[in-house]
Amino acid sequence: MRRVSRRYGFHLIGPAALATFGSATLPTYAQAQATPAAGASAVQAAAQPDKTAPSSKAAKPNQTTLPTVTVTASKRIENARDVTSSISVVDHKQLEERHVTSLEDLAGSLPGVQIDTGGTPGQTTISMRGIPSLDVGSVVGTYIDDSPLGSSSSFAAASRYQLDLLPYDVQRIEVLRGPQGTLYGASTMGGLLKYVMKEPDLENLSGSVGSGVSTTSGASGAGWDGRAMINVPLIKDKLAISASFSQNDTPGWVDNAVTGQNNINRVVQKSSRFALFWMPTSDISVKVSAIHQSINANDTGVILLDPKTQQPIYGNEKTGTVIAQPFSNNLNFYSATVDWDLHVMDFTSATSFSRTDRTSTADDTAVYGPVFDADGFENGVSPLELRENLSKFTQEFRLASKPGGRVEWLAGAFFTHESSENEQLLGAKAADGSPLPVLDPLLDVNLPTSYTEAAVFGDLTYKITDRLDVTGGLRYAKNWQSFSYGISGVGASLEGLSNNSGSSDEGATTWMFSPRYRLTENSMVYFRAASGYRAGSPNLALPGVPPVVHSDTLVSYEAGWKTLLLNKRISVDLAVYDIDWKNIQLNNTTPSGVAYLANGGTAKSQGAEITLAYVPVRNLRLGLNAAYTDSRLTEDAPSLGGKSGDSLPGVPKLTYAFSTDYTYALPWDLTGHAGGDYRWTGARWSSFGSSSTNWREGGYGVLDLYADVVDQKWTLRIYAKNLNNQHPQLNIGYLQNAATGQIAVLQASSLQPRTVGIELDTEF
């Protein structure tokens, strides 16, 4: 599940195997965009100048209505208000104003979306509408433009390492809630998070450069960031390239009370991107891009809590681990998209290859140190070293009808192949790092896996009248998986574990049905019924263990209302839903403590979401969003200590966010802007209510403020994140004493403390 005795292990085996050894929204306001005219091809739409790109002038503020927001989450270019699903958009301007450096900065601002961190960017878990991953495969899909990233398998810990880009050169982030199994396939049971990148400009030579400094409460040093971008049209209206680089250096703010080291959790993020946009003819466009991102943290900086009182043992910003817990994540992503206007229809080819490499170290001394003591090795330490990599190739072909007809359709085929390795080395070391005789290594595990999937999909919209239309969709997917399992070490010998392998294949069908009725030009109601699934996997070949765990599935029923009122000065997005989740993939263990997956139990999630935006006076925008979520087991889950009626872990019942933005004219042709938001995340539980290892994570609210001044070329920006300096206990997990079976210590992540910064950017 989401919080287990050792969150870092893969699902087939964990430290339990040695238990016998010792004994916002941000409201959807993007800036006005050019909405393609009816009948425009994908090629023509791509060639249109992007009205959301940074302006070279400080335009005089004169906003009296809410602008149009264009999205591509449904694989069509359309107004967000026409999408028959709950959707949020965070545009590049909002990302810059709020100094967003990771998804954690958006936590609480997107209704119905829960974003959790394991202590650093990149160790990120996302759930939507009360459907958590329960610590196996991902339930939320992540995309860059038209290509998915992250594993569809349960072997690669995808649920704990969701795509978390340093969002420079990002045009917008689209969040589409509810199962998206028809268009996006496996691992989108909860929804989809999509990064839409900026495209090279075919007309104008341009560039920008900027930098900033910040101070964080409790940190001894300053943080800093820098970025640069250049766009070069090589052949006007035909060929352009762009290149960008950014770096964000966050100082450490957690001290280690045991080792005496201060500010241990410094994080450095780097991102670079190269993009090419080529239009050889007016009917064809080619987009090629390469992205490299790295995240390097000296330590995760987890806060240790007393298991009985749940109070920090050393303080809100101190830890007491005896081994450093560094984390690194490197992503290389390459993509090529071809759009071809066939005049009677549009063709799209989207190809990608990605490679992700992660390394981390976890301190398991609290688990195995007592065992070492009992065996005569005092002050022994136990590092768990993890090395994980994932290579993923994807190819999608799509044909789409021209928009505007009575019948609109889309059909496509998808293929992906991924291979991953998951290596774990659990050590038994003396305090000086030398191996303990006989005991080291406790476990040495290597788990190479492969996952291949092929799918066909399509949807069709029939316009019954000018106001009423109905959309239906279908997808069939088939996947093939295999793994080999190599294990050695003292623990493996004691438990009788040996090398192993397994394979599986499975087909899945998902569907969608959605009628929509336009009450007026600016108001519509819709109903959406849709299904989603998460791929199953093979299991270890052990007595009593099922050879295969099957996919789990859910069906969602959603009703919504989207409207603009008072001459487009008020927008309302309201949605209610009911989700049935069946055949849930759950962790289980053999009598000797070997972990595996099994199917079991059902759950239901019901809730409502609302997003409001209002322009009461010229240039002032107010926003409110809120979500109520009630997700519970409807059958017992004995392996996790859950009983029917228990709330699902990690899901707050109530979240809400208030925001305000005001733009105003200043002397000397300057434009000023100021805003802020307050985000509340309600209380939740770390596990199921009936479980003995369940702790309450209290609700908390975060206040952010920001302001900027813009002239024709320069932008000066200030911001304050977590101004009220909250220290919530998040993602509580536990370490269990292997000698006694007692809970040794709790571990929790916390928010980055109050951070205040200043930024200066210039364009040319």
Residue 59 — very low, low, confident or very high, per pLDDT cuts 50/70/90? Answer: low
Distances (CA, A) of 101 to 92, 127, 158, 247, 292: 12, 20, 21, 10, 16
Q: Has residue 398 got a pLDDT over 50?
A: yes
| Contact partners, residue 529, CB within 8 Å, separation at least 6 | 512, 513, 514, 555, 556, 557, 558
Residue 429 pairs with which residues in a beta bridge?
381, 435
Q: Which residues contact 605 (CB under 8 A, 6 or more apart)?
A: 129, 130, 131, 577, 578, 579, 581, 629, 630, 631, 632, 648, 651
What is the arithmetic mean of pLDDT over 46-50? Answer: 52
Asked if residue 21 has pLDDT above 50, the reply is no
List the single range of 158-172, 321-335, 623-637 with lowest mean pLDDT: 158-172
Do residues 401 and 408 touch, judged by C-beta distance below 8 A?
yes
Lowest mean pLDDT among 117-126, 222-231, 490-499, 659-668: 490-499
> Would you tell me how many other CB atoms lie within 10 Å of the CB of residue 672?
15
Q: What is the spatial distance between Cα 631 and Cα 642, in angstroms, rounded to a whole number?
A: 13
Q: What is the pLDDT of residues 606-652, one digit of tens each?
A: 999 999 999 999 999 999 999 999 999 999 888 778 899 999 999 99
Within 13 Å of residue 699, how many CA atoms lie on the same side as its CB? 11
Is the predicted pLDDT of residue 36 greater than 50, yes or no?
no
Give the type of residue at 37.
A
Residue 181: count of CB within 10 angstroms of its CB: 31
DSSP for 596-653? Answer: EEEE---EEEEEEEEEEEE--STTEEEEEEEEEEEEEESS-BGGGTB-TTPBPTT--S
Contact between residue 662 and residue 692 where contact means Cβ atoms under 8 Å apart: no
The pLDDT of residue 255 is above 70: yes
Query: What does the mean pLDDT of the chain come to?
Result: 88
Given a cut of 50, is residue 175 above it in pLDDT? yes
Whole-angstrom distance, CA of residue 117 vs CA of residue 267: 14
Band (pLDDT 50/70/90 cuts) for residue 373 is: confident
Q: Tell me the two tokens of residue 491.
A: 């623990």
pLDDT at position 597: 83
Instruction: Kindly state the percentage of the chain with pLDDT values over 90.
Output: 69
Which range among 291-305, 363-377, 595-609 has the greatest average pLDDT? 291-305
Consecutive H or E run containing 368: helix 365-374
Q: If phi over 0 gives left and psi between -120 and 50 gives alpha, with beta otherwise, what is residue 525? A: beta
Q: How confident is the model at residue 593 (pLDDT cuts 50, 70, 90)?
A: low
Pair 512, 182: CB distance under 8 Å: yes
For residue 290, give both structure tokens.
């390469």
Residue 693: DSSP 8-state: S
Q: Which pLDDT does position 18 carry in this prediction?
A: 34
State the pLDDT at residue 543.
75
The answer, yes or no, to whether residue 30 has pLDDT greater than 90, is: no
- Residue 35: pLDDT above 80? no
pLDDT (mean) for 532-550: 86
Paired strand residues for 621: 661
Q: Which of 29-33, 547-551, 578-582 has the lowest mean pLDDT?
A: 29-33
Asked if the bond preceding 441 is cis, omega within 30° of 0, the reply is yes
Quote the percentage of the chain above a pLDDT of 70: 91
Q: Residue 381 carries which DSSP code?
A: B
Higher pLDDT, 632 or 25: 632
pLDDT of residue 44: 53
pLDDT of 546? 85
The pair of three-digit structure tokens given for residue 390, joined into one six-digit string:
């994932």
- Answer for the pair 291, 272: CB distance below 8 angstroms, yes or no: yes
DSSP bridge pairs for 353? 334, 393
Going by C-alpha positions, the residue among 6, 7, 10, 8 that lies closest to residue 597 is 10
Weakest mean pLDDT among 17-21, 253-257, 437-441, 547-551: 17-21
pLDDT digits (tens, 9 = 90+) for 60-95: 677 777 788 888 878 888 888 888 889 999 999 999
DSSP state of 146: T
pLDDT confidence of residue 592:
62
Closest CA to 68 of 460, 738, 553, 571: 571
The pTM assigned to this predicted structure is: 0.92
